[in-house]
Each structure stands twice: as C-alpha cells, then as structure tokens.
Amino acid sequence: MSPVRALRGATTIDEDTRAHLHDRVVALLAAMFERNALDHDQLVSVIFTATADIHSAFPAEAARRFGLGDVPLLCAQELSIDGGTPRCVRVLMHLESDTPRSELHHVYLEGARHLRDDLPD
C-alpha cells in the first residue's frame, strides 16, 4: 500500500450559478488529475470548502459528475475572513501515492491563483 498524501487546490466562480460552479470545479479536478497523473483508484476522500457567498450548488455535485461518485466527498463552509477571496471553492484531496509530497503539484486556478503565488503555473 502506498502512503496517503494530501493534494490542495482552489478556484473561484464569476457568477453563482450551478452550471458555472460545476464547470469550474470540474476544470479544477481535471487539472489536479492531469498535473499529478492521478488515477481514480488512488483517491481516499475529497473535502471541499466554499465561501459563504456561494449558494447555487455543492462542489461535491460537480465531483460526482466528474466521476467521483464512489469516493467519500464532504462539503463545508470556509471561514469568513475580512479580505478573503470571494466566491472561492477549495479542495483537499487525500490519495494513495508513492510520489514524494515535495513533488505533488497543487493547483490554484482563476481568482484563486494568488492564494499560492509560490507555486508554478
């Protein structure tokens, strides 16, 4: 069995609609899978947070559409911090991987790029 690793990511939405949220979350998950050469069977669980200004849909709905229906998914509300990034969805993905933690590629898209400006595109 491979060690359990954690992979982070985030994106933002321009409008609070179910379709737009689904599109952005699917794009985020696809980028996380592509940049890390992930296989569905590596996933242990996925936790999403969304800022309080998102009301249209649960990010986990989009994850199920992406094909993660058999992976444990959880949504929670992000802390409401003054100056925080609005309309932001964050993800914490737990996976089994032999890739060293230092070689994982965390993915921050759209208006969430500034959250981790220390990471390459």
What is the layout of strands, in order, in the sheet containing 88-96?
73-77, 43-50, 88-96, 4-12, 107-108
> Which one of the listed residues 64, 87, 88, 103 is annotated catalytic?
64
Active site residue 103: no
Active site residue 87: no
Rounded Cα distance between 97 and 103, Å, is 11
Rounded Cα distance between 50 and 41, Å, is 25
> Which one of the listed residues 5, 15, 75, 113 is annotated catalytic?
75
> Which one of the listed residues 5, 87, 88, 108 is annotated catalytic?
108
> Which one of the listed residues 5, 24, 87, 90 is annotated catalytic?
90
Q: How many CA atoms lie within 13 A of 87 on its CB side?
A: 14
Active site residue 101: no
Active site residue 8: yes
Active site residue 88: no
> Which one of the listed residues 18, 34, 101, 116 is annotated catalytic?
116
Lookup: tokens for 77: 């509300």
> Which one of the listed residues 8, 35, 65, 113 is annotated catalytic?
8
Active site residues per annotation:
8, 64, 75, 78, 90, 108, 116
